[in-house]
Copies of this chain bind each other. A is one copy, B any other.
Amino acid sequence: MSSAPAALAQTPPPPYYAVIFTSQRAPGDGGYGEMAARMVALGSTYPGFLGIESARGADGVGITVSYWKDEESIRRWKADMEHRTAQAKGRSEWYSSYEVRIAKVERAYGFASK
């Protein structure tokens, strides 16, 4: 096994679920970076977690997609107490807007050079 997580998630064959979290950051940090890293670490310990991919550009628009075995796994992670605290702080401080979409991945294909 590699010691560093792959930038692109290694997911099993579909079907599985994706949570597409798109956000616009508000100005300032206020502990955001630390919280974001903690949420990835904590979320990945939850049953049914399959992987995560994340990118944020210089314009403050970010997309994080987490992959899950089923909807029940997503519900459990959403209800995590520490995660709920982060969600509240996201609304009050870190994000000017966000959208969450829960989607069932039906097909997937990829490419890797070499």
Contacts and interface: CB of A to CB of B under 8 A. Distances in A.
Nearest to A71: B106
Q: How many copies altogether?
A: 2
Interface residues of A, number: 43
Contact of A107 (B55, B59, B101): B101
A40 interface: no
Given A9-B99, A54-B63, A90-B111, 18 more contacts: A7-B59, A7-B60, A7-B61, A8-B23, A11-B101, A18-B18, A20-B20, A22-B53, A22-B65, A53-B63, A55-B56, A57-B57, A65-B65, A91-B113, A97-B110, A97-B112, A98-B111, A103-B103
19 contacts: A7-B24, A8-B97, A8-B99, A18-B18, A20-B65, A22-B65, A53-B61, A55-B57, A55-B61, A55-B63, A63-B63, A91-B113, A97-B111, A99-B108, A100-B110, A102-B106, A103-B104, A103-B105, A104-B104
